Amino acid sequence: MNPFQFDDFLRLPHKLKITVRKFVVTQFMLCYIPEELAMKFGIGTGTVKSWVARFIAGGMGALDDRPGTGRPRILTEEHAQWIFHTVVDKNLRQLKFEFAYWTVQRVRRAFIDEFGIDASRCAIRRVMRRLRLTPQKPRFRAFQHRMGQVARWIDTTFPEIKQEAEREGALIMFADETGMHSDYHVRRTWGMRGQTPEVTCTGTKFRFNMLAAISPDGRIHYMLHEGAADAGRFCSFVKQVAEETGRKVRFVVDGCRIHTAREVASFLEKEFEDGHVRIHILPAYSPMLNPAELVRSHVKRMVSRKCFKTKDKLLRLLEAEFKSLRDLTDKVARLFKEPDCKYILA
């Protein structure tokens, strides 16, 4: 393969462009014709001929970059670095803005406040794209979130739970619960601009609650039910998982009241006197530490793609999705490799 063949010559660094020009002209001097050089290097024939003409008129020095035309750029490399570090490392409240999201207009306002230079939105956008900054959907984190508690959980608490589970031959399960409503719709569909497409669905309100527990090896256990999720339901689910696994189980859940209720503690003490099942609570406001959160999001997203008009249909779709995940143990295990959940496998 020719090392000097390029898909997009215009995107090459300036110094490399000059090297390519001079190399191509050198090949021309060795009796190659422009059409052959254009095909060989992936460059337009007219471009090769213009380089040859510049060389004939002014020698190799004529192939260096010419002075740019038009207005000079007002945004220097120093400005670009300031924009990059401001967007990546700071939030709007640090700059005394009342907004929570960066937009091109807000970056422009912050830039003008900092340097007093009235740069256009187009100029700011070009620099941001060159810096590989893109508009993205952010991950949300509660302001009550405590980094100290999270660090203690990751560095001390969970490793101790893991060591104890390995010593006792227990299975660690991360559990969570959620509800699936009949009017839950998050998908998009194509249509004519200015004409919002319509999708027929049911107007009846109904829902099912889901409890799911997953382990790092890809196992998944679930329970579907109508009515509110309460401590009694959670106790039933804990007993179901313990019976299905046939092993000691260590549940890791969030601090929801149905997990910390006295009824749950009494149930464990009565049903599993030998510590066969224990429950460990995650740090407050830290759902990202629980990969079971990703299971419920996946199930709701997949089911919302389907059309269901009755409770029975919704129940069948939920059952089918969970059964599919039971067969896809690799897919479930990959959830533990998400950035916030890697600590589990460490």
> What confidence score (pLDDT) does residue 248 get?
92
> What confidence score (pLDDT) does residue 1 get?
41
Q: What is the rounded CA–CA span in Å between residue 107 and residue 113?
A: 10
> What confidence score (pLDDT) does residue 55 get?
85
Considering only CA atoms, which of 61, 117, 110, 115 is closest in space to residue 87? Answer: 110
Q: What is the rounded CA–CA span in Å between residue 169 and residue 84?
A: 49
Query: How many CB atoms within 10 Å of residue 241?
Result: 24
DSSP, collapsed to helix, strand or coil, labels residue 187 as coil
Backbone φ and ψ of 210, nearest 5° = -125, 135
Give me the tens of pLDDT residue by residue for the chain, a chain 346 residues long.
455 555 566 667 767 778 888 888 888 888 778 888 888 777 888 888 888 888 888 888 888 876 666 677 788 889 999 999 888 887 766 666 666 788 899 899 999 999 999 999 999 999 999 888 888 877 655 545 567 888 899 999 999 999 999 999 999 999 998 888 777 666 677 777 777 777 776 767 778 889 999 999 999 999 998 877 889 999 999 999 999 998 899 999 998 999 999 999 999 988 887 788 999 999 988 888 999 999 988 888 888 777 777 888 888 989 999 999 999 999 999 999 998 899 999 8
Interacting residues of 195 by C-beta distance below 8 A, sequence separation 6+: none
> What confidence score (pLDDT) does residue 73 get?
76
DSSP, collapsed to helix, strand or coil, labels residue 313 as helix
Strand 277-281 and strand 220-225: the pairing is: unpaired
CB 337 within 8 A of CB 216: no
HSE toward the beta carbon, residue 344, CA cutoff 13 A: 25
> What confidence score (pLDDT) does residue 67 get?
64
